[in-house]
């Protein structure tokens, strides 16, 4: 049975959708079959980030309401035969049954090696809906005090929701200010969030460019960091990227 992973953070803009897309592609490059489930109701974005928005006719609520079957709603990413996207509803409040979402994720985890849920920002209904569906979570934080505090809060809420395995993804690493003390460094982020670190993703303009063009993040220092995250999730021992070589 595949694992269901929620990608979360209290703060918006930390890179949840970017990590969902980058990690999904990296797992796919390692031969895994991956479904990326956008649960950011009203503010979906994975379809645009991965260039499948033109093909999108149905969303996750259509499956739950019986308007289509799962195969009609799940979209394959170009060039990645094992990477699929399921979009979030445009209308807010459409996903209202935790039991139905849990059931759907269980069905998908029979078919996919990984189901990765892109959570909305904040700690309202949408977050709880996503958190109640997963047993594993990645908490995405950027190196700054606000993100650090929000990540610690989210970690506690995830634990209360029954998410047993939680790991920190430190995104938008800026080496120099993290070394000179302008921004919290990696140890301070781990101590401040209280979450075990699994990945450090550098700030990399190619991430912004890939997203704007609807392309998978590939052949860049961020892509290398996503490959390392994917391997670490698969229990393959690889170190974090060498931060002194970044920016
Ligand atoms: N590692 C990174 N390097 C550079 N830009 C990034 C990185 N991660 C995310 N971004 C940019 O930050 C913005 C917010 O990212 P996004 O994934 O949409 O955040 P969230 O889903 O948490 O709101 C986007 O413009 C994205 O391209
Ligand atoms: Mg997002």
pLDDT at 54: 87
Q: Answer whether 175's CB lies under 8 Å from 200's CB.
A: no
Residue 153 above 80 pLDDT? Answer: yes
pLDDT-based confidence at 245, cuts 50/70/90? low
Which of 6, 16, 18 to probe ligand 1 with, by most ligand atoms within 8 A of CB?
A: 18
Q: Residue 11 CA: which ligand is closest?
A: 1
Strands 197-202 and 34-38: unpaired
- d(CA 208, CA 213) in angstroms, rounded, equals 9
- d(CA 206, CA 59) in angstroms, rounded, equals 28
pTM for the full predicted model:
0.95
pLDDT-based confidence at 126, cuts 50/70/90? confident
Question: Domain map of the chain by residue range?
Answer: 3-242
Per DSSP (E only), the strands in the chain are 3-8, 34-38, 75-76, 83-86, 114-118, 136-141, 165-173, 197-202
pLDDT-based confidence at 232, cuts 50/70/90? very high
pLDDT at 21: 98
3-242 sits in which CATH class?
alpha beta
Q: Compute the distance from residue 103 Cα to the ligand 2 centre, in Å.
A: 24
pLDDT at 7: 96
pLDDT at 246: 52
Q: State the closest ligand 1 atom to the C-alpha of 203, by its place in the atom list counted from 1.
A: 3
pLDDT at 46: 96
Which residues, 6+ apart, have CB-to-CB distance to 30 below 8 Å? 227, 230, 231, 234
- Percent of the chain past pLDDT 90, that is, above it, reads 71
Q: State the closest ligand 1 atom to the C-alpha of 225, by its place in the atom list counted from 1.
A: 1
pLDDT of 68-104, one tens digit each?
A: 999 999 999 999 999 999 998 888 877 778 888 888 9
pLDDT at 133: 87
Question: 56-60, 132-136, 194-198: which has the highest mean pLDDT?
Answer: 194-198
Residue 244 above 70 pLDDT? Answer: no
- d(CA 222, CA 205) in angstroms, rounded, equals 9
Q: State the closest ligand 1 atom to the C-alpha of 45, by its place in the atom list counted from 1.
A: 18
Q: Answer whether 157's CB lies under 8 Å from 124's CB.
A: no
Residue 114 above 70 pLDDT? Answer: yes
Q: Compute the distance from residue 241 Cα to the ligand 2 centre, in Å.
A: 24
- Percent of the chain past pLDDT 70, that is, above it, reads 97
The pocket around ligand 1, CB under 6 angstroms, is made up of 9, 12-18, 121, 171-172, 201, 203-204, 207-208, 211, 222
The tokens 């991965």 sit on which residue? 50
């Amino acid at each position: 049975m595949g694992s269901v992973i929620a990608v979360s953070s209290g703060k918006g803009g930390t890179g949840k959708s970017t990590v969902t897309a980058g990690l999904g592609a990296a797992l796919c490059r390692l031969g895994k079959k991956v479904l990326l489930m956008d649960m950011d109701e009203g503010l979906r974005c994975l379809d645009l980030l991965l260039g499948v928005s033109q093909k999108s006719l149905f969303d996750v609520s259509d499956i739950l309401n019986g308007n289509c079957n799962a195969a009609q709603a799940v979209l394959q990413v170009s060039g990645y035969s094992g990477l699929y996207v399921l979009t979030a509803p445009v209308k807010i409040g459409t996903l209202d049954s935790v039991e139905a979402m849990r059931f759907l994720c269980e069905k998908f985890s029979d078919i996919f090696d990984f189901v990765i849920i892109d959570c909305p920002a904040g700690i309202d209904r949408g977050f709880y809906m996503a958190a109640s569906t997963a047993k594993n979570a990645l908490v995405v934080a950027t190196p700054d005090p606000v993100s650090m505090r929000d990540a610690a809060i989210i970690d506690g809420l995830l634990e209360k929701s029954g998410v047993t395995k939680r790991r920190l993804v430190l995104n938008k690493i800026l080496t120099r200010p993290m070394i000179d003390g302008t921004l919290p460094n990696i140890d301070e982020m781990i101590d401040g969030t209280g979450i075990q670190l699994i990945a450090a993703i550098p700030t990399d303009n190619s991430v912004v460019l890939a997203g704007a063009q609807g392309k998978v993040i590939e052949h860049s220092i961020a892509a290398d960091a996503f490959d390392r995250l994917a391997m670490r999730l698969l229990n393959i021992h690889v170190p974090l990227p060498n931060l002194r070589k970044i920016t």
